[in-house]
Amino acid sequence: MDTIVQIKDLSVFYEDICVLENINLNINEGDFLGIIGPNGGGKTTLLKTILGFIAPSEGSISIQGNSNFHSKIKIGYVPQHTVFDRNFPIRVLDVILMGLLNNKNLFLRRFSVKEKEAALCVMEQVGISELKNRQIGQLSGGQMQKVLLSRTLLQKPDLILLDEPTASMDNASRTRIYEIIKALNKEITIVTVTHDTSFISSYIKTIACLNKKLFYHGEPALDEAVVEQVYGCPIELLAHGIPHRVLKEHGDEQNV
């Protein structure tokens, strides 16, 4: 299996504060990697460093053997929060079509019928077709996340980085989004930062436990010692929609 992203001895500092320390991690083609850990543990910083938004203080990140800026693969990014003018008169469909823009065609860009059909197809896939003419400021947080995901999918990326993609959604919407992402994973490598530990065993193939340092990387089955080391205290990991535990059996421990 080919390695898409290789992270080697990576450390990131904000002035004199260490946010990531000596991270070594490979992301392989076809993976669905979930990154978990406490708030402030460096998860978003790791995504932004992969994207090239933040420069490593030490170590390196290569994408298919090239630096972030010379990669030939398309990387899509769905942030957790997007700041925008909620009164700006733009429709959902137009926001999604903006995924086709680049630095060479920002102005006076006219979208073809084929491009609009592709956008509508993506919207149907994500389940927001009925929102196509909605003004963007009228959306809920969960609806906005689906719009951002649709915009990213329209770019046809090889790798998608998602930062808390279901943070503002109810359980039904979370399930829908994870089902969509799982289907996308048949063709696209996925990396998601998540606090939805209840979904891990149902959807994610591998997991990385991050709290400044990388404490675990492998199958989504953790022991209590690793979880407590990452979070600094005992926490429960619940399986979503299935009657088995995410944590492996350990003697006479209680069910989680």
> Residues 154-211: pLDDT tens digits?
999 999 999 988 876 778 878 888 888 998 899 999 999 987 777 777 889 999 999 9
Identify whether the C-beta of residue 231 lies closer than 8 Å to the C-beta of residue 37. yes
* Domain membership flag for residue 188: yes
Q: Which domain holds residue 31?
A: 1-73+158-256
| 245 pLDDT above the threshold of 70 | no
The confidence score (pLDDT) of residue 10 equals 97
The residues with which 63 forms a beta bridge, in sequence order, are 5, 66
* Domain membership flag for residue 94: yes
Residues 182 and 254 in one domain: yes
Residues 1 and 63 in one domain: yes
> Residues 58-82: pLDDT tens digits?
999 999 877 665 567 889 999 877 7
Please report, rounded to a whole number, the percentage of residues in the chain having pLDDT higher than 90: 48
Residues 213 and 142 in one domain: no
Domain boundary among 156, 173, 191: 156
Task: Tell me the mean pLDDT in the region 16-44.
Answer: 94
**Tally of domains in the chain:** 2
What pLDDT band is residue 214 in, cutting at 50, 70 and 90? very high
* Domain membership flag for residue 78: no
Residues 185 and 139 in one domain: no
Residues 164 and 69 in one domain: yes
- At a CB cut-off of 8 Å and minimum separation 6, what does 177 contact? 126, 145, 146, 149, 165, 166, 169
Residues 176 and 163 in one domain: yes
Task: Tell me the mean pLDDT in the region 148-158.
Answer: 92
Identify whether the C-beta of residue 49 lies closer than 8 Å to the C-beta of residue 27. no
Mean pLDDT of the chain: 83
Residues 240 and 162 in one domain: yes
Residues 102 and 169 in one domain: no
The confidence score (pLDDT) of residue 236 equals 55
pTM: 0.83
Residues 151 and 173 in one domain: no
Range of lowest pLDDT (84-88, 199-203, 215-219, 251-255) = 251-255
Domain boundary among 125, 156, 187: 156
The confidence score (pLDDT) of residue 243 equals 37
Residues 51 and 9 in one domain: yes
Range of lowest pLDDT (3-7, 93-97, 112-116, 194-198) = 194-198
Residues 169 and 251 in one domain: yes
What pLDDT band is residue 229 in, cutting at 50, 70 and 90? confident
Domain boundary among 156, 190, 216: 156
| 233 pLDDT above the threshold of 50 | yes
- Amino acid, res. 78: V
Return d(Cα 132, Cα 112) in angstroms, integer: 17
Residues 163 and 152 in one domain: no
